[in-house]
Amino acid sequence: MITVIGSLNMDLVIQMADFPQQGETVLGQQFQTSPGGKGANQAIAAARLGSNVTMIGCVGDDRFGHTLRTVLEQEHIDTTSLLTAPESTGIANILVHHKDNRIIVVPGANYKLEPTHLDAVKDVITQSQMVILQLEIPMETTAHAIKLCKEANVPVLLNPAPAANFDMRWMDDITYLTPNEIECAQLFGNDFDQTLEKYPNKLIITLGRDGARYFDGEYPIHVPGYMTKAVDTTGAGDTFNGALAYALVEGQSLDEAVYFANIAASLAVEQLSAQGGMPTLSKVYARMAGFDE
């Protein structure tokens, strides 16, 4: 079983021809709502591949919260540990102009997920084969989750986004850290080779279409990505993390798991929205075999 502890948001996406200047009103071209939040995204990515997934997080008692809970349940994700708070469900307001975007996140109920709630569902966490974390919930809650996992010897995959919420003291107690290049530079500086050697088989830097890098204890490893025509890269990193967790829990080696995750992410970017293109296991294996369904 994989347990995801993290955020659930409703994405409010506005397509526009021009960004408004201060004090200016412009007409948008298109509006849509899309379920999101890095925690929910990664949970769905793992579940769609076949993992038994439990989601621990917090939503509001409102329409968005009810929708996000229903979406998880439709993906066969266990939501019995999902808390409902009086605050509004978290949202991300995404303004899209051609290939540029500006995002405003209001955490809302996500920041009501407290350490005491994790204690209440401790058995779920400690019986997990792996716990996935991101950084869109309170830092003290993330720290407590890592502590519970350490005590129970449960592997932790932490995706440090946003990187500003990462505490370097966690490095000794997590199993895998998966920053992208920007996040890695924010955390460790720009000397990636030296940093990778410092954290063998733990630090995995995602490179988008170029794949991912890590150090295996003897040699630097570059696992290439799959070249595809991206339609929407939103959620590609979340797909990578969910797929990586799935593959590792299934007993794949780190090299095999990173390759598997790269393939899953390549499929995800071929569809619109963060969750819309997250692939099933059969689609990943079809691409790995050299043909697509």
Active site residues: 238
Binding residue ranges for ATP: 180, 206-211, 237-238, 262
What CA–CA distance (Å, rounded) separates 84 from 68? Answer: 11
Binding-site residue ranges: 9-11, 37-41, 136, 180, 206-211, 232, 234, 237-238, 262, 268, 271
Residue 217 Ramachandran class (φ > 0 left, ψ -120 to 50 alpha, else beta) = left
Q: Residues within the annotated binding site for substrate?
A: 9-11, 37-41, 136, 238
Binding-site residue numbers for K(+) are 232, 234, 268, 271
CB–CB of 237/42 below 8 Å?
no
Q: Which H/E stretch holds residue 141?
A: helix 139-152
Residue 273 DSSP label = S
Distance CA 212, CA 162 (A): 19
Instruction: Establish whether the linkage from the previous residue to 162 is cis, with ω within 30° of 0.
Output: yes
- Token pair 């009086």: residue: 86
**Spatial distance between the Cα atoms of 51 and 130, rounded to a whole number of angstroms:** 11
Residues 6+ positions from 249 with CB-CB distance below 8 Å: 2, 51, 129, 130
Please work out, in degrees rounded to the nearest 5, the angle formed at the alpha carbon of residue 55 by the alpha carbons of 85 and 276: 105
